[in-house]
């Protein structure tokens, strides 16, 4: 079973990280001014305060250069009238418009239907979805399956699902991620963890296929592992709320994941019949939740910096695109001539649970 | 591959259909009185009007005797203060409380962990979910996969996913449905289609397992089929909105499904290497969206009434429990001594897309 045919689509708009952080400070100040009845001087002071916090705690521009978003940047003055941001209904409607259009465009030139299409997202829930509308419009007999609400690690369960569909008869399973993280902005929540989140996440749109035969270039699937860590349910959450999805993120997440990682990776290799010595020559695809988690993975597994380079580069170029991030890293490793065929590609992603997900591939 | 070990849990509360319809009329009148500033006489007139519509169009008590719900019945006077019902955030919180407690109870006596646990719902999205919390609390290495937002037909994709997990190494895959449809009540939406919906849906909680070996009693999986119908995306929808999930349902749904059904069922049998003559001795599990769809399936496929009896009985006893309904029908057919081993159990379900899903089993 082979992952292949990666096609990423850049979101329509892009903002550099410095511009984005400045916008965030203004947006929070506008919302706070409306809620706490601040005058102009008070609003400016609040913006400066948020800008200060962001300068200390946000992902800095040398680690994250720019982020994509699918909708035009909001004029911050809009938050004066509605300091809680768009309603959940409006966010759902906008998600559907963007995603329906994406599916149509992304499959415009596609003549052959896939047997299965797995739609992966945690940022918009509407049925029928863009995948179903595509299949109906084209008169395809493709089966559509949702892989929803699994956060940043969802590419791994999606690959597991695709492997199962392939094992039970499908020749081609397409996996399509549509993550519109930027939709779920909360200008009225000034907590430090929210500011960190808002400085990291971005939109990501990508499709790829699992092929039943092992021909051609791609990532050959060798195995997978998955673990829900104990006593960490409160460390991260993602839930439907009145004004879009709401995230919580504790500071201890990188440490909790790091503590479980060594045993987890040993198991991932063992399940594929490989011993841990093979780590040395492996190139890692690590979901870059933030810069810190890449550091921790590198240190715990005693990796060289180049072994996590693709993960850092994707964070730098695009931000944390939730479940769409790992596929962007796979695509980059696949296209990189410096990574020879035969290289092992252990892939790691993390999310609410806390859940640690892994898949092991070989580049071919 | 065998579906087995069905365990249904009744929701904590039950209301007879006449009591439920009376409550609905009062709740709508209370919301309308608040929104349109009606006096007591106006409110009584409005309640009578809604009661009249319900008497004509709601699922009558001889077809649906009672429905379960997981939360205590709301005092309708609450809708005076909040005519739009609970916020999305409150609905999500209540969903999580009920579902977390359900997973704990449902697995209390379970000593052996499943390899996989598929959590099926379209009525509440929160991560970590009850399944992840269970697995963490018990220290299990079970993989948790969400089958979310696939509406009433989700049992079929969940079974497809389980078949794939089984084909790639799992010995036991548990599938758990937690549908809290009653949470998503909109007292301010008096449209006829909403009243029909609100008179049909109920809560449903059920777990079962797919076993890799074919031993013991159960439903042996012979095959499946799935189709998104053309030009029907607007006939049914289910989406996240400000105050819980929102459904739309056009009148033409039963006719659109019926028009596709004969060809679809022929294909379902052919894929399993069976010819349509085998329909005669089959017992159908038809998702009872409402009484009408069972009639249409019976007529189009020229079935006898007893061939759809289990589907009618489940609608009568429990209401439309979204994706949990089909598993309740499977459980009933499996336990029914009048259905001999060797009987084919074609299973059909429908939802947004419009999507028609089918699975074919043999009772053993």
Residue B234, SS3 per DSSP: helix
pLDDT band at B216 (very low <50, low <70, confident <90, very high): confident
- pLDDT, position B276: 84
> pLDDT tens for residues A283-325?
999 999 999 999 999 999 999 999 999 999 999 999 999 999 9
Q: Average pLDDT of B319-342?
A: 98
pLDDT band at B215 (very low <50, low <70, confident <90, very high): confident
Of A52, A346, A38, A9, the residue nearest A195 (C-alpha): A52
> pLDDT tens for residues A176-232?
999 999 999 999 999 999 999 999 999 999 999 999 977 889 999 999 999 999 999
Q: Average pLDDT of A65-76?
A: 92
> pLDDT tens for residues A141-187?
999 999 999 999 999 999 999 999 999 999 999 999 999 999 999 99
CA distances from A111 to A7, A106, A210, A211 (A): 16, 12, 17, 16
Are the CB atoms for B229 and B253 separated by under 8 Å? no
Q: Which residue of A has its CA nearest to B232?
A: A136
- pLDDT, position A319: 98
With a CB-CB cutoff of 8 Å, which residues 131-150 of chain B face chain A?
132-133, 135-137, 139-150
Instruction: Calculate the dihedral angle through the C-alpha atoms of A34, A36, A39, A42, rounding to the nearest 10 degrees.
Output: -120
A163 near B CB under 8 A = yes
- Please list every residue in chain B whose beta carbon sits closer than 8 Å to the beta carbon of residue A241: 88-89, 92
- pLDDT, position A215: 81
Q: Which two tokens stand for residue A148?
A: 């929803």
Of A283, A335, A279, A354, the residue nearest A312 (C-alpha): A283
The whole-angstrom distance between A132's CA and the closest CA on chain B is: 6
Q: Which residue of B has its CA nearest to A169?
A: B164
Residue A90, SS3 per DSSP: helix
> pLDDT tens for residues B127-162?
999 999 999 999 999 999 999 999 999 999 999 999
Q: Which of B164, B228, B240 sits opposite A164 (nearest CB)?
A: B164
Contacts of A296 (CB under 8 A, 6+ apart): A254, A255, A257, A258, A261
Q: Average pLDDT of B167-171?
A: 97
Q: Average pLDDT of B28-39?
A: 96
- pLDDT, position A214: 72
Residue A176, SS3 per DSSP: strand
ipTM: 0.97
Q: Which of A92, A227, A231 sits opposite B240 (nearest CB)?
A: A92
Q: Which of B149, B161, B228 sits opposite A164 (nearest CB)?
A: B161
- In the predicted model, what is the mean pLDDT of chain A? 96
Q: CA–CA separation, A225 vs A272, rounded Å?
A: 10
B178 near A CB under 8 A = no
Measured in whole angstroms, the distance separating CA A72 from the mean position of its chain's CA atoms is 20
Q: Which of B143, B145, B355 sits opposite A132 (nearest CB)?
A: B355
- Please list every residue in chain B whose beta carbon sits closer than 8 Å to the beta carbon of residue A237: 126-128
> A137, B230: Cβ pair inside 8 Å?
yes
pLDDT band at B165 (very low <50, low <70, confident <90, very high): very high
Which regions of chain A does DSSP assign to beta strands (E)?
Answer: 2-9, 13-16, 66-69, 116-121, 126-127, 143-148, 172-180, 203-211, 219-228, 236-241, 244-249, 285-286, 344-351, 355-363
pLDDT band at A276 (very low <50, low <70, confident <90, very high): confident
With a CB-CB cutoff of 8 Å, which residues 238-297 of chain A face chain B?
238-242, 246
Q: Average pLDDT of A100-105?
A: 98
């Amino acid at each position: 079973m082979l992952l292949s045919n990666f096609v990423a689509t850049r979101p329509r708009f892009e903002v550099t990280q410095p511009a984005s952080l400045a916008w965030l400070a203004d947006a929070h100040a506008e919302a706070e001014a409306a809620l706490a009845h601040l005058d102009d001087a008070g609003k400016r002071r609040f913006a400066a305060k948020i800008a200060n916090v962001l300068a200390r705690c946000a992902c800095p521009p040398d680690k994250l250069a720019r982020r994509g978003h699918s909708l035009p940047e909001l004029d911050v003055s809009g938050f004066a009238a509605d300091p809680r941001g768009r309603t959940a209904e409006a966010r759902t409607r906008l998600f559907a418009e963007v995603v329906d259009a994406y599916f149509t465009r992304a499959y415009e030139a596609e003549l052959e239907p896939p047997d299965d299409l797995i739609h992966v997202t945690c940022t918009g829930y509407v049925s029928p979805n863009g995948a179903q509308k595509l299949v109906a419009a084209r008169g395809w007999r493709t089966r559509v399956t949702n892989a929803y609400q699994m956060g940043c690690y969802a590419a791994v369960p999606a690959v597991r699902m695709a492997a199962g569909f392939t094992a039970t008869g499908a020749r081609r399973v397409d996996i399509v991620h549509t993550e519109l993280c930027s939709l779920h902005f909360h200008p009225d929540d000034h907590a430090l963890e929210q500011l960190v989140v808002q400085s990291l996440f971005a939109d990501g749109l990508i499709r790829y296929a699992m092929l039943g035969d092992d021909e051609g270039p791609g990532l050959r699937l060798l195995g997978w592992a998955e673990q829900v860590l104990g006593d960490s349910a409160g460390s991260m959450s993602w839930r439907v709320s009145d004004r879009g999805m709401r995230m919580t993120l504790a500071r201890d997440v990188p440490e909790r994941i790091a503590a479980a990682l060594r045993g987890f990776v040993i198991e991932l290799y063992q399940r594929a019949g490989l011993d841990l010595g093979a780590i040395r020559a492996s190139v890692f695809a690590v979901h870059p939740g933030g810069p810190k988690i890449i550091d921790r993975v590198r240190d715990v597994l005693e990796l060289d910096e180049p072994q996590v380079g693709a993960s850092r580069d994707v964070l730098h170029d695009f931000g944390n695109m939730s479940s769409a991030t790992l596929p962007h890293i796979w695509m980059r490793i696949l296209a990189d001539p410096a990574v020879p065929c035969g290289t092992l590609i252990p892939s790691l992603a993390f999310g609410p649970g806390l859940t640690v997900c892994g898949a092991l591939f070989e580049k071919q």
